[in-house]
Amino acid sequence: MAITVNIDVMMAKRKMSAGELSGRIGITPANLSILKNNKAKAIRFSTLEALCRALDCQPGDVLVFDPNRNGQNEDGQSENSQNE
């Protein structure tokens, strides 16, 4: 996907753990992990707003558009392919 989630960067800047952040924004640690690892297909505006409030940042600080990654995961493989 051409959108990358950089929550890790903002968490490091704020010295905040995943457990603390998930508690502050009201999502499970598992769902936060999905966001952090760029596995999410969508994000609710309410979740994005909560992230921005907790991390004291703007949406552009956690979401990055990279047109060169369109249709590929972090390993450069097609997102529609499945490992056997």
Confidence of residue 82 (pLDDT cuts 50, 70, 90): very low
Asked if pLDDT for residue 40 goes beyond 60, the answer is yes
Amino acid identity of residue 12, one-letter, is A
Would you state the structure tokens that stand for residue 21, as one six-digit string? 């952040």
CATH superfamily of 3-69: lambda repressor-like DNA-binding domains (1.10.260.40)
Q: Is 61 exposed, middle or buried (0-12, 13-18, 19+ CB in 10 A)?
A: middle
What's the predicted TM-score (pTM) here?
0.77
Q: What percent of the chain has pLDDT over 70?
A: 83
